[in-house]
Amino acid sequence: MTEKHQIPIRVPVLARVEGEGTLELRVRNGAIEELRLRIFEPPRMFEKLLEGRDYTEIPDMVARICGICPVAYQMSAVQAIENLFGVEPGPWVRDMRRVFYCGEWIQSHSLHIHMLAAPDFLGYASITEMARDHAHEVRRGLRLQALGNEIIRLLGARSVHPVGARIGGFHHAPARAQVDALREKLQAALPEAETLVRWTAALNLPTEEQEFTAVSLRHPREYPMNEGRMVSNRGLDISADRFESRFVEHQEMHSTALHCLHDGKPYLVGPLARLNLNLDRLPAPVRSLADSLGIKFPSRNMYHSIVARALEIVVAMREAIRLLEVYAEPSAPYISVTPRAGTGYGCTEAPRGLLWHRYDANAAGVVIKARIVPPTSQNQARMEEDLRTSLQSLGVRQGEAVLRRRGEMVIRNYDPCISCATHFLDLRVRELTHA
């Protein structure tokens, strides 16, 4: 005979996650039988909205997908459309796009570390609570985030939904004096970012290790950001146009966010995946810093994601400084392009991981079909896999408060950006036992 106990556990707010969802557990005899992270994100139909639009409109439209990582959407889109038209904007545009992206990594990672993740590891419910005891660290986080925003403004005119990017380059080139002033600020703040790395490494992080497939871009010389081949720790090595042959999105009934699988299995994208696969692409001072932390990278501890984010802030600051040091105002900040019919692919590293775009256009450059695969869709199956492992390892009889807290911490660790709605997690545990 089977006795059913339904124990509804209400979590009033899944704080510090950009999305709305429910975590449902079905437990039988102390083991997790079923686990579902239900995402309620309303379908936004963005890909459909892009159909029929002129190629010139696409960068500004896709920037509206996310208020935290609009640069990533713009950079994957411009790369895909330039790939479609067969144009190469040249070294100035390439360098400034990398600087632009550095700004987004700095602001997004700083925000996640301080506002979303750190309170977990220090035992606070929010950044405001944490600030009472860790004001210095919170101020440092806000300063770094503001610096990232300033870089985005330099090239994008504003930090949220920037409008500076266009197919072929940028609408505007900043003045040398403006660039120099910002570079000096970045240089002055670099020691703070390095201190941040050591601070994250010293946090009391859980030590559980897991097996997972990591996927990221890899570039012949640089730490990956705007370009590279897609690689994994299981031997994947493909260009962006082959993505659909190895990665398939599907709809799960319990979630409005698509699940993307790599060769039929969950995988990880984001800072820890990037770092694990590109340690030899870190600038030498950042590699030394990483080696000094007492953490063995590549790491299988998902909680080292916060350290990877902090290291990537230093990477981005150093890259921005390096590129702005040799800045020269160009004769034109963009190249002209001539539309042509075809299909183009773009893949860049958003703060949260791979962001893949595909556009089909007609001879006038009007988009016929668009497809966008964001990092959160790619990480969703991995999040469920991690939740199952972590909660089972913790012990499902720990009680609702402990389960809920650990579940939230696991989800937050991926920095999922699910929607721009109010965000609630309703954890429901259904326990089945044999009499």
Partner 1 sequence: MPDRVHIIGVGSPFGDDRLGWVAAESLQRSSVLNSLEPGRIAISIMDRPGAMLLALWDEADHVILMDGVRSGAVPGTRHRLTAGDVTDTCIPATSHGFGIAAALQLAQVLENLPNRLLLRGIEMDVCCTGFTLSAAVTAAMPHFVREIEEETLALAGAIHPFRSKTASESSFFAR
Which of 23, 37, 96, 131 is close enough to bind partner 1 by CB under 8 A?
A: 131
Interactions with partner 1, residue window 221-260 (CB under 8 A): none
- Decide if residue 18 touches partner 1 (CB under 8 A): yes
Query: Which segment (30-38, 163-171, 224-232, 415-423) binds partner 1 by CB under 8 A?
Result: 415-423
Query: Which segment (79-87, 274-282, 292-300, 414-422) binds partner 1 by CB under 8 A?
Result: 414-422
Which of 6, 29, 128, 393 is close enough to bind partner 1 by CB under 8 A?
A: 128
- Decide if residue 422 touches partner 1 (CB under 8 A): yes
Distance CA 15, CA 148 (A): 24
- Decide if residue 68 touches partner 1 (CB under 8 A): yes
- Decide if residue 196 touches partner 1 (CB under 8 A): no
Contact between 317 and 189 under an 8 Å Cβ cutoff? The reply is: yes
- Decide if residue 17 touches partner 1 (CB under 8 A): yes
- Decide if residue 104 touches partner 1 (CB under 8 A): no
Distance CA 300, CA 272 (A): 9
**Binding-site residue total for partner 1 (CB under 8 A)?**
35
Parallel, antiparallel, or unpaired: how do β-strands 425-434 and 21-28 relate? parallel
Closest CA to 92 of 400, 367, 256, 327: 327
Query: Which segment (108-116, 205-213, 229-237, 324-332) binds partner 1 by CB under 8 A?
Result: 108-116
The answer to whether the peptide bond before residue 220 is cis (omega within 30 degrees of 0) is no
Distance CA 325, CA 155 (A): 16
300/423 with CB nearer partner 1: 423
- Decide if residue 116 touches partner 1 (CB under 8 A): yes
Query: Which segment (1-9, 124-132, 251-259, 359-367) binds partner 1 by CB under 8 A?
Result: 124-132
**What is the x/- site pattern for partner 1, positions 153-192, by CB under 8 A?**
-----xxxx-------------------------------
Contact between 269 and 354 under an 8 Å Cβ cutoff? The reply is: yes
Which of 31, 48, 123, 126 is close enough to bind partner 1 by CB under 8 A?
A: 126
Closest CA to 416 of 71, 116, 61: 116
Closest CA to 155 of 84, 91, 75: 75
Q: How many residues does the chain have?
A: 435
- Decide if residue 427 touches partner 1 (CB under 8 A): no
In three-state form (DSSP H/G/I as H, E/B as E, the rest C), the secondary structure along 189-256 is HHHHHHHHHHHHHCCCCCCCCCCCCEEEEECCCCCCCCCCEEEECCCCEECHHHHHHHEEEECCCCCC
> Which amino acid is it at 245?
S
- Decide if residue 135 touches partner 1 (CB under 8 A): yes
Binding positions for partner 1, rule: CB under 8 A:
13-18, 67-68, 111, 115-116, 125-129, 131-132, 135, 138-139, 142-143, 145-146, 149, 158-161, 420-424
